[in-house]
Structures are given as structure tokens and as C-alpha cells.
Amino acid sequence: EKVLHFVIDSDKESSFIKTFRRSSEQRTKDKVLRHCPTCLELRLQMKTARASMQSSSALRSCIENLLKSLRPNICPEDGKELNEEKVFPDVFTRRQLSGLRLQCANPGCSWRGAYEQLEEHVRTSCEGAPVTCKYCKEDFLRKDIEKHERHDCNEAPATCEYEPVGCNQDKTLKRKELRQHLNDGLIEHGRLLLHNMLVFFPQLKHFITRLDFTAIINKLRDDITEIRVSLTDKFVMVVGKFNGLQARIEGIEGRLESQRDVQEAIPSQNGILLWKIEDFQRKRQDAINEVKTALYSPLFYSAQFGFKMCAKIYMNGEGFGKGSHLSLFFVVMRGDYDALQTWPFQKKITMMLLDQGNGDHMIDAFNSDPQSSSFQRPKSDMNIASGSPLFMPLDCLSDRQYIKDDVLFIKIIVN
């Protein structure tokens, strides 16, 4: 059976029309615009026709590749041998294409137009069309090619920033070579700059001698006065803002101090007292001089609505420990909830002098004596104190870090 092949002469059309693909479903439904059986692109260019009026089509480039291949030139559609002498333009398909309205398939492009306008659009204005960089020969979208060539392409020509002062760089210098050029020419570039400065300064001196110095000085004086006034105004404004901020900071510090005092004044309600005694040396000297022999701790409770208690310390001792020991005592106080408590007071009391270094605390613990008046329901503000007059020898205070930064810590635990 004799086979004829028809092809449109234009090679350019086959290159840009490849960007307009159709889905496989559309391919089966389309009876006019079929697809090249070789590359599956939209077949608009070539046609093979047999004497029986049956025909097959393919892209021109695909037909040419088949004809040039080493294997037998077989049509992929009908399996017949291809004959280069019987390839002709597919005028019928070209006529059908002239009435088509196409949409550009390049990414980000919304162009719609006639088939005759498609080539011009893709070649000149389509932002999504691939364009080859003239320097590195890589493909980029048209919308990105200018930025790439101006700023990013390492193969693009580059100009040394020292060229205006005499750098005779290699005219074929590429952007990727510029950094190395600047590093290698550091001394030479410095010499060129110095040379130009030495040439320029005498010219500048000659130019200045021709100027009216009086007018220049007056202008500078006026400018300085204006700047001084402006700076004075700004300084006054800044000082005002600073004073306002300082007042706000002092107010905040005052509120924080008040909150700290309130928090410190809130008594513990878990049976634990941590008592910080500051200015130890002064207070002990007051005790020695009998100005103030005893100190009372902040009050604390055994529970939220429990027993009310405090501690009492003699900085120079009391009773058997006077002048030789710290004397530490526990005191039961009259509270608002005494009617709800179980009397007499029966709990274990642990008194501690805290070591602020190694944790080697001084500890004395005892159980309350239910027969002692110290642990009966108070009839006055405080019961008689009960504790240890020989709690800690004064000459042993320096053996550990019981006193640090002139501060001593006492801890009372009521179980």
C-alpha cells in the first residue's frame, strides 16, 4: 500500500506549539487536532496520507528524527515505511488551526488569542516562556531573566568598582571572578586611590583660594547657630521625657517595694517560719549594751486557721546562756481561731540555725510539754516562751557560714 506524508514547512511552529498539551482524555475525543504518536505533543504540523485516503500525522521534527535514525524508517501509527520524497505540507490542518482560540499554557500566563498570534506571544511577551541566558546558557522564565543576568549570573561580565580610578581590569572578567580580583588587587587598588587623592588635593586647594571665604564663614556660622538652636530644643525635649520616665520608674519601684512589704507581712500558714535577721553585728551589740536584748520574729500559723506562733531570739543569750550563747525560743500566741484548736498545744517543734554555705545546719528539736503553761491556751497576747537558752555558742558562729553578709537565718518547723 502506498503511503504519502504531508508536513507544514515552518520549523518554528513545531517548537512553540509543543507548549500547548492536552490531556489524554481530550486526545481521544479530539478528531481534528490529534497528537504526534512519537512525542505525544499536539500534532499540528505533519500528515501522512495513504492512497486509500487514510492518513496519519506527526510533528515535523519527529518525522525528521525518524528519517535520520539508523533503524528502519517506520511510521509509528500505521507501521509503514516512511519515504522522505513523499512528505508534504498538511495544508488542511493549517487551515483548521487558523480558526482556533488558544490559552497560553505557560505557568502564570493568562493570555488568550488566535493561533496566528501564538508564536509572536510566546516569542516576545509571554512572562512564563523559557528564555535562555545569553551568558550561562541556562533557561529561565522571561519574567526572571533580567534579574538573573543583572545580579545573579556568575558568567555575566562584571566591572571592577575601582575602574574609575584607573584599574585596568581584564575586559572578560566574570561576576564569579570579581571577588578574587578584588582580593588579589587590594594593594594596587589602594595605590590607585592614594594617587588620585594626591592629584585631587592640589586642584582642590587651587579651587578654594578663588572662593569668597567671608561668605563661606558667614554661611557656616548661620548653619551652626541654626543647628545649635535645634539641638537645644531637642535636648530640652529629651530631658523632659527623661524626667518623666524617671518619675515613672520611681513610682514603679515604690509600688514594687510596697508589694514586697505586703508579701513579707503575710504570715506563713503552713507551720514553717523562715526568719531573716539583718544587721547581725549591730543588733548583737545592742543586746550586749542591753539596748534591745530580745528580737521577735514575724508571726506564722500552723495551718490556715491554726495556731498563731512566733520565735524569740536573744542575740547575747538569756538565763544560763547569757553572754556565751544565742538563746532561741518558741512562743504560742493568742489567735483569732483559738476556740477551734485542741488544747493544750501538742506538736513537735524544730528550731534551726541555717548554714548558708554547706548546709551544715544547727538543729534543736523537742516535743511540746502538755503540762507546761507555755502550751496552754493563751490568756494574754503571748505565752511564756519555751526553747533553748544554750542554743548556739557565740564563739562557734564563725566555724560555719551561719553569718554571711551580716545576715543570719532562723527556721522554725512545727509538725
pLDDT tens, position by position, 87-121: 766 777 777 777 778 888 888 888 888 877 888 88
pLDDT above 90 coverage of the chain, percent: 35
Burial 207-216 (b: 16+ CB within 10 A, else e): eeeeeeeeee
Residue 228 has pLDDT above 60, yes or no: yes
Pairing relationship of beta strands 294-296 and 272-277 according to DSSP bridges: unpaired
Q: Which CATH number fits domain 265-414: 3.90.1150.10, 2.60.210.10, 3.40.50.720, 3.40.1310.30?
A: 2.60.210.10
Terminal CA-CA length for the chain: 115
**CA geometry: angle at 413 spanning 360 and 283, to 5°?**
70
Whether 45 contacts 94, CB under 8 Å = no
- Ranges 90-94, 182-186, 188-192, 396-400: which has the least confidence: 90-94
H/E stretch holding 29: helix 24-29
- Ranges 110-119, 268-277, 367-376: which has the least confidence: 110-119
Instruction: Tell me the average pLDDT across 68-86.
Output: 66
Instruction: Tell me the average pLDDT across 300-326.
Output: 95
How high is the pLDDT of residue 114?
83
How high is the pLDDT of residue 159?
83
pLDDT in tens, 238-260: 888 899 898 889 889 888 887 77
Please state, in angstroms and rounded to a whole number, the distance separating the CA atoms of residues 117 and 7.
21
Residue 216 has pLDDT above 90, yes or no: no
- CA-based Rg of the chain, rounded to a whole angstrom? 51
Backbone φ and ψ of 354, nearest 5°:
-80, 130
Instruction: Tell me the average pLDDT across 144-167.
Output: 86
Residue 274 has pLDDT above 90, yes or no: yes
* Cα distances (angstroms) measured from residue 403 to each of 357, 366, 399: 10, 25, 10
| 79 vs 167: which has the higher pLDDT | 167
Please state, in angstroms and rounded to a whole number, the distance separating the CA atoms of residues 199 and 192.
11
| 349 vs 19: which has the higher pLDDT | 349
Please state, in angstroms and rounded to a whole number, the distance separating the CA atoms of residues 314 and 320.
12
How high is the pLDDT of residue 264?
65
pLDDT above 70 coverage of the chain, percent: 75
The listed range with the strongest mean pLDDT (122-136, 205-219, 282-296) is: 282-296
394 burial via Cβ count (<10 Å: 0-12, 13-18, 19+): middle
Residue 329 has pLDDT above 80, yes or no: yes
Whether 63 contacts 79, CB under 8 Å = no
Q: Which residues contact 348 (CB under 8 A, 6 or more apart)?
A: 365, 366, 367, 368, 414, 415
Domain ranges (residues) in the chain? 7-22+32-118, 163-198, 265-414
Length reported for the chain? 415
How high is the pLDDT of residue 45?
41
Torsion sign (Cα): 316, 319, 325, 326 = negative
Please state, in angstroms and rounded to a whole number, the distance separating the CA atoms of residues 393 and 405.
20
| 352 vs 106: which has the higher pLDDT | 352
Place of cell 510539754: 369
What is the average pLDDT value for the chain, to the nearest integer?
79
How high is the pLDDT of residue 222?
84
How high is the pLDDT of residue 46?
43
Which residues are bridge partners to 101 per DSSP?
114
How high is the pLDDT of residue 171?
67
Q: Which residues contact 106 (CB under 8 A, 6 or more apart)?
A: 19, 122, 126, 127, 128, 129
Backbone φ and ψ of 181, nearest 5°:
-60, -45
How high is the pLDDT of residue 314?
97
Closest C-alpha to 312, from 367, 266, 273, 278: 273
**Cis omega before residue 344 (within 30°)?**
yes
pLDDT in tens, 169-180: 766 788 888 878
- pTM score: 0.41
Strand, helix or coil for residue 158: coil
SS3 string of 360-411? Answer: CCEEEEEECCCCCHHHCCCCCCECCCEEEEEEEEHHHCCCCCCEECCEEEEE
Please state, in angstroms and rounded to a whole number, the distance separating the CA atoms of residues 349 and 412.
7
- Ranges 15-19, 227-231, 333-337: which has the least confidence: 15-19
Ramachandran region of residue 176, left (φ > 0), alpha (ψ -120 to 50) or beta? alpha
Ramachandran region of residue 108, left (φ > 0), alpha (ψ -120 to 50) or beta? left
Whether 347 contacts 370, CB under 8 Å = no
* Cα distances (angstroms) measured from residue 11 to each of 16, 18, 62, 332, 370: 9, 12, 11, 110, 116
Please state, in angstroms and rounded to a whole number, the distance separating the CA atoms of residues 326 and 310.
17
H helical segments located in 148-212: 175-184, 186-208
